[in-house]
Structure 1
Amino acid sequence: MFLNRLENVYKIMEQEGLSQTIVSDKNALFYLYGKWFNVGERMIALLLRIDETPILVLNDLFSFEDKDTKIVYFNDKESGPDKLLPYIIHHKALGIDKFFPSRFLISLMNLHAASAFKTCMAIDYARFVKDMDEQKLMIESSHINDLCMEDFKCALRIGMSEKEMQEECYKIYKKHGIDRVSFTPIVAFKATAADPHHEPDDKTILEAGDMVLFDVGGVYKDYCSDMTRVFFTAEPTAFQREIYNLVRRANEEAIKHIKPGVALKDIDKIARDIIDSAGYGEYFNHRLGHFIGIEDHDFGDVSLSSDIIAKPGMIFSIEPGIYIKDKIGVRIEDLVMVTKTGVKVLNEYPKDIQVLDLK
């Protein structure tokens, strides 16, 4: 177990007024143990009690050893909640993470396992701030994504379909030692990029003059990358250039203002105001960014409704976009890390307009 990470979780539990909580989210368990637990539909519950040995209740089909954890096994003839019950302090409130299945929670409630059951986000708040090991992995993950983006660009050819290019993305990631993607690669030709979550198809064929959008990410040593770039296959029209440069300015101005102590909702507003003042506000229809790490979308976002204050070690995306149906879609996305004095952009792939001479 990463004891420094556990201590951070304990501190946040105390701030939430909780002395005990259950963690069942497989991503949170990986964060604490550096090991993936794939237990299917069976219960897994890590009971954290401040200043006491963590207790992991686990089906005996999945053996595990950790010197800092007490392991309690149950089998398929036994009830997981029943096994967990003796270790819960019944006269105190019990925190529950966001993924603990309701069927197990209801069983604990019926057993009167605690005086109250409360949502506990301590593990998620702890994961907001990446430690030095995580930061190094995120920097390398984004570096590899930069290299892959260049290869994606070079793999484009007139006459190929979006689906064919998507398959090339998987091959290119594998060439760079990446066996798992952060999410299904988004490849959009023409105006299909006006759908922020477009699913590549076999029918949309790349033709000379098309714009191409890549929204892609790979997983390096269990940490995700994510980046979006747009390429041109002919000299952009005045309208295309206007939209592209506007989105780029929103991206870069927002990044300039990131530093410790700044409210993330204010960062969203900076980018949104730039696009809105140019008359395209209605076409920027999503939040500015999301947190990222073990998951492509870690808990937390950069939006007008966010109450998060930037702290050193936080890593999130900055991805403004303009989407005009049947006309154009442009998004430019970078991952950024808050530093002690400002911000570090993890993606180094250029954002200049690139016109490709494709065959």
Structure 2
Amino acid sequence: MGQFSPNKSRIGHVMSNLESMGLTQALVCDPMSIWYLTGYYNQPLERFFALHLSADGKGGATSTLFCNKLFPDATGAANAIVTFDDTENPIPLIAAVTKSDKPLGVDRKLVAHWLLPMMDAQIASDFRLASNAVDDARAIKDDAEKDLMREASRINDEAMSWLAAQVHEGVTERKIASGLLAEYRRLGAGDHSFSPIVSFGANAADPHHEPDGTTLGKGDMVLFDVGCKRQGYCSDMTRTFFTAEPTDRQLEVYNTVRRANEAAEAIIKPGVTFAEIDLTARHVIEDAGFGPYFTHRLGHQIGLEDHEPGDVSCTHDEPVKAGMIFSIEPGIYLPGEIGVRIEDLVIVTEDGCEVLNHYSHEPQVLKA
């Protein structure tokens, strides 16, 4: 065996999920999910890359990894490694492994360029979208994953202190954003988990504002939405600061968002639905008269990717489960005036939740 090996526990969870969908085989094409199941990561670009999982009839599973010969050596990542080069058509190789008389689960990353020829070649009796089989497994973090998420959030807390210290007269959003990666790496992170959001003044009323040449203005509020990766696992946090004594209106907006964040976090425990969590925060903002200005869902699941399937929204009626990690990020966005968001990550525990971010929610006036 090489440095990679199939993760029997995770594959077993996926196979159980497939069984509940009436499936005995699946083709996983999401590179991050392949890494999750095997420890082997590769970004294939336009080339074919997939992990075939099949029930072995004995309560276990067999795995076959399909890799182009130019990919890094995948020895040990699956029970079998099938290689091919750029001149070979991988479809017959896949057909030799799949059971043509059984339906095949596929994930959302399988592009039509490969799916349609598979259908034409009749490598399975039917094709079914089965992304949830892996997504649901990835949603429940094990102890090692939780520790990495805690560490990534600890680094993010420290980085937020660095960000706050960069705010001064004459600085631009882009200047602060461009220096963050070096600070993350100094603190032990590997990379951004997404492009940092740095917003001054009215720019924060755009929830996904991209840092630009805007210079800090007198009395501007400042919003930072940032995240880093620690050994592949993501953090994500938002804090909003004042640069002068806040006006009554600024403070009203800020405190409303804070109450919404803390009210939502207070009700999280297994069995509570994602919709109930969203609505708890949303009602706080609506009761304060800012309902139309909370324009997005309350949060998203997170792990190996910053945004993973499973949102915290008023239409998601499934109950949360212990081991899930997601964001709680209410916001109020008044166009041309104010934008405030306060975001934490939480782990659902057996009887509540653990908030991963410890940077204060208290209103903070920066010495700008």
TM-score bracket for the superposition, by shorter chain length: over 0.9
Shift of 1:167: 1.3
CA contact (8 A) 2:67 2:83 kept: yes
Note if 1:214 corresponds to 2:214.
no
- Is 167-176 or 242-251 further displaced after alignment? 167-176
Shift of 1:152: 0.7
Shift of 1:67: 6.3
Distance change in 2, residues 1:71/1:259 (3 Å):
same
- Residues of 2 paired with 1:233 and 1:122: CA distance? 47
> Percent same amino acid among aligned pairs?
47
- Residues of 1 paired with 2:26 and 2:334: CA distance? 46
Determine which of 54, 58, 79 is the counterpart of 2:67: 58
CA contact (8 A) 2:206 2:339 kept: yes
Determine which of 261, 269, 276 is the counterpart of 2:286: 276
Aligned to 1:251: 261
1:137 partner letter: L
Aligned to 1:348: 358
Shift of 1:40: 2.0
Note if 1:226 corresponds to 2:236.
yes
What secondary structure is seen at the aligned counterpart in 1 of 2:282? Answer: helix
Cα deviation per residue 1:134-172 (whole Å; 9 max; x = unaligned)? Answer: 001001100010011011111211111111111122232
1:139 partner letter: R
Runs of 4+ in 1 over 6 A off after TM superposition: none
- Residues of 1 paired with 2:215 and 2:23: CA distance? 56
CA contact (8 A) 1:155 1:168 kept: no
- Residues of 1 paired with 2:112 and 2:147: CA distance? 36
**Matches for 1:284-303 after TM superposition, within 5 Å:** 284-303=294-313
CA contact (8 A) 1:228 1:332 kept: yes
Aligned to 2:128: 118
Aligned to 2:104: 94
- Residues of 2 paired with 1:58 and 1:168: CA distance? 37
Determine which of 132, 154, 175 is the counterpart of 2:186: 175
Distance change in 2, residues 1:67/1:266 (3 Å):
closer
CA contact (8 A) 2:200 2:221 kept: yes
Shift of 1:294: 0.3
Cα deviation per residue 1:247-280 (whole Å; 9 max; x = unaligned)? Answer: 0000000000000011111100100111111111
Aligned to 1:7: 12
Shift of 1:308: 2.7
Determine which of 346, 353, 358 is the counterpart of 1:336: 346
- Residues of 1 paired with 2:168 and 2:192: CA distance? 23
CA contact (8 A) 2:329 2:343 kept: yes
Question: Which blocks of at least 5 consecutive residues in structure 2 are unaligned?
Answer: 1-5
What secondary structure is seen at the aligned counterpart in 1 of 2:114? Answer: helix
- Residues of 1 paired with 2:359 and 2:335: CA distance? 27
Note if 1:23 corresponds to 2:19.
no
- Residues of 1 paired with 2:97 and 2:50: CA distance? 11
2:67 partner letter: L
- Residues of 2 paired with 1:73 and 1:145: CA distance? 40
What secondary structure is seen at the aligned counterpart in 1 of 2:61? Answer: coil
CA contact (8 A) 1:152 1:172 kept: no
Note if 1:81 corresponds to 2:70.
no
Aligned to 1:151: 162
Aligned to 1:201: 212
Aligned to 2:322: 312
Determine which of 336, 344, 366 is the counterpart of 1:326: 336
1:313 partner letter: G
What secondary structure is seen at the aligned counterpart in 2 of 1:215? Answer: strand
User: What TM-score do you get using the length of structure 1 for normalisation?
Assistant: 0.97
- Residues of 2 paired with 1:113 and 1:73: CA distance? 18
What secondary structure is seen at the aligned counterpart in 1 of 2:264? Answer: helix
Cα deviation per residue 1:317-338 (whole Å; 9 max; x = unaligned)? Answer: 0000000100100000000000
- Residues of 1 paired with 2:126 and 2:75: CA distance? 31
CA contact (8 A) 1:284 1:321 kept: yes
Aligned to 2:40: 35
What secondary structure is seen at the aligned counterpart in 2 of 1:214? Answer: strand
- Residues of 1 paired with 2:318 and 2:109: CA distance? 22
User: What TM-score do you get using the length of structure 2 for normalisation?
Assistant: 0.95
- Residues of 1 paired with 2:230 and 2:172: CA distance? 28
Shift of 1:68: 4.6
- Residues of 2 paired with 1:140 and 1:96: CA distance? 33
Aligned to 2:3: none
- Residues of 1 paired with 2:136 and 2:317: CA distance? 12
What secondary structure is seen at the aligned counterpart in 2 of 1:53? Answer: strand
Q: How many residues matched? A: 357
CA contact (8 A) 1:266 1:304 kept: yes
